[in-house]
Amino acid sequence: MTRLFAIIDCNNFYVSCERIFDPQLKHKPVVVLSNNDGCVIARSNEAKALGIEMGAPYFKIQAFCQRQNIVVKSSNYTLYGDMSNRVMHIIQGFEPNVELYSIDEAFIELLGTNHINLKKYLMHLVKTIKQYVGIPIAIGVGETKTLAKVAVFQAKKRLQQAVCILNQTMTYEQALMTTPIEEIWGIGRRWAKALTYRGILNAFDLSRLSPEVIRRQFSMVLANTLRELRGYVCLHLENKFTPKKNIMSSKSFGKTQSDYATIAEALSNYCARASEKLRAQGSLTQQLQVFLTTNRFKQTYYAPCAQIRLPQYTNDTRTIIRFAKAGLKKIFKPGLSYQKTGVLLCDLISQDIPLQTDLFNFENGCVKDRLDAKQRTLKVLDKINQRYAKDILFLACQRMQHTSPWMMRSENRSRCYTTRWEDIIEVKN
């Protein structure tokens, strides 16, 4: 029996989230900006029609937005994350085999569903999500994940329908021939260019080639994409919890910074965030990378990176900050204007693996009580922050004042309608 995969994709997700709580935005051109109001990361159909490009730097299109009355929103990840959870919860109520692929997409493998009534069933899912959460979605169905992605592209961009099932809504050949090479999942700008140069213009062209030749000339990854286009399953549903292998936290500053103490303060915050994620997934780290960059669009681009090996595995924010700061000291050059700093935790392992402790390190050594006390402190820290507010408890080195010069800009951020008591909408009679 052939397998069937579906991808559920939220339409213009961030814009749709904003529209739910501000219905005046409906039918208006809306864009959502990245952190620091840097560039465009989501557009309503009306904004797309006006020619706003994905990733466009905001400062370049600001005047245009004003002239065209485009509504500009700063990103509000707290809101989007919560709305995403609601959508995913409904999907999980419909199907047991769900892969939460990204904030606005989920794959499902359709097992035992009555395929004849598939369209009806999926339309019911679309309507349920619209009714209970308010987010419009599109669904694509195919024999592999890559074909499901082709189908959802057809649904959204060509058919303007909520559901597209390959071999039902349209033929397989029709779908592949009208999917441009750069729209195929797994083919980025570089490969699209190289393939176009060879006269491979759409998904159908690619599917006719020899996977072996593609593997030699490009890579295994592209050869698998080709096989998936032919209907051979290479990519399976990943629906088990797998801890991250790397954890990163970094952000651009609101304004460029040249003061060491200010940058160290920002870095301490990113370390705290990364350590929190590390503990949340039950891991320990032994290797840090601290990086610092000046503006990459300016002439003197300086982007050093310090690698730090910790004496032993840890998940303690205090240890991580201490070593990260030592790394920052090594790469910091006075007199430059920096734009961004951050930390990457690598070499992660599960905290459940029994570890050999360092015999000569008296700080952590074999003093079990002290280790336990440290872990208890961290647990309390995480619990309080989770329960009351993010960063209600923090280390002194994370903040010198209430607001710091490195903090990011966010001029048009909407309220946290669903996660903060003060922000809940009041209905008046």
| Interface with DNA in residues 390-409 (CB under 7 A) | 408
Using the minimum distance from each CB to DNA, give the nearer residue, 267 or 397. Answer: 267
Least Å distance, CB 175 to DNA, is 17
Query: Under the criterion CB under 7 A, does residue 190 sit at the interface with DNA?
Result: yes
Closest CA to 320 of 266, 268, 385: 268
* Residue from 43, 145, 279, 340 binding DNA (CB under 7 A): 340
Q: Which of 80, 5, 1, 3 is nearest to 238 (CA)?
A: 5
The Cα angle at residue 2 between residues 220 and 176, in degrees rounded to 5: 55
Instruction: Give the CA angle between residues 288, 289, 290 to the nearest 5°.
Output: 115
Residues 222-251 that bind DNA (CB under 7 A): 244-251
| Cβ atoms of residues 107 and 237 within 8 Å | yes
Provide the minimum distance between the beta carbon of 11 and DNA in the complex, in angstroms, as a whole number. 12
Q: Minimal CA–CA distance to 121: which of 132, 111, 134?
A: 111
Q: How far apart are CA 306 and CA 288, in angstroms?
A: 8
* Among 320, 327, 352, residue whose Cα is nearest residue 341: 327
Least distance (Å) between residue 62 CB and DNA: 7
Q: Which of 240, 241, 261, 297 binds DNA (CB under 7 A)?
A: 297
Out of 5, 107, 191, 338, the only residue in the binding site for DNA (CB under 7 A) is: 191
Between 113 and 286, name the residue whose CB sits nearer to DNA. 286
Nearer residue to DNA within complex by CB, 7 or 25:
7
Is 207 a binder of DNA (CB under 7 A)? no
| Nearer CB in complex with DNA: 39/125 | 39
Count how many Cα atoms sit within 13 Å of the Cα of residue 389 in the half-sphere of its side chain. Answer: 8
Give the nearer residue to DNA in terms of CB position, either 308 or 371: 308
What ranges make up the beta strands (E) of 267-395? 283-294, 305-314, 338-346, 349-350
137 and 86 Cβ atoms separated by less than 8 Å: no
In this structure, are residues 294 and 272 in contact, taking their beta carbons and an 8 Å threshold?
no
Residues 23-42, one symbol each (x = binds DNA by CB under 7 A, - = not), give: -----------xxx-xx-x-
Cβ distance to DNA smaller for residue 27 or 298: 298
- Bridge-partner residues for 71, per DSSP? 30
Residue (149 or 325) nearer to DNA, CB = 149
Closest CA to 253 of 237, 265, 239: 265
Residue 425 backbone class (left: φ over 0; alpha: ψ -120 to 50; beta: rest): beta
Per-residue CA distances from 276 to 131, 242, 249, 404 (Å): 35, 17, 11, 21
Alpha-carbon gap, residue 348 to 315, rounded angstroms: 10
Site for DNA in 103-162 (CB under 7 A): 103-105, 149
Residues within window 342-371 making contact with DNA, judged by CB under 7 A:
342
Q: Which two tokens stand for residue 282?
A: 């039950």
Whose Cβ is closer to DNA: residue 63's or residue 261's?
63
Count of residues in contact with DNA, rule CB under 7 A: 50
> By C-beta, is 18 or 104 nearer to DNA?
104
Measured CA to CA, the distance from residue 357 to residue 374 in angstroms comes to 15
Binding mask 247-286 for DNA (x = CB under 7 A): xxxxxx--xx-------------x--x---x---------
Q: Cβ closer to DNA: 244 or 370?
A: 244
Could you tell me the smallest distance in angstroms from the CB atom of residue 186 to DNA? 5
Is residue 186 involved in binding DNA (CB under 7 A)?
A: yes
Helices 368-387 and 260-280: crossing angle, nearest 10°? 100
> Could you tell me the smallest distance in angstroms from the CB atom of residue 7 to DNA?
9
Q: Show the binding pattern over residues 48-67: x = contacts DNA (CB under 7 A), - = does not.
A: -------x-xxx--------
Q: What three-state secondary structure class fits 24?
A: helix
Instruction: List alpha helices for 9-144, DSSP H.
Output: 13-21, 45-49, 58-67, 77-94, 118-132
Residue closer to DNA by CB (options 235, 371) is 235
Bridge partners, residue 163, by sequence: 139
Interface ranges with DNA (CB under 7 A): 34-36, 38-39, 41, 55, 57-59, 101-105, 149, 184-192, 215, 219-221, 244-252, 255-256, 270, 273, 277, 295, 297, 307, 339-340, 342, 408
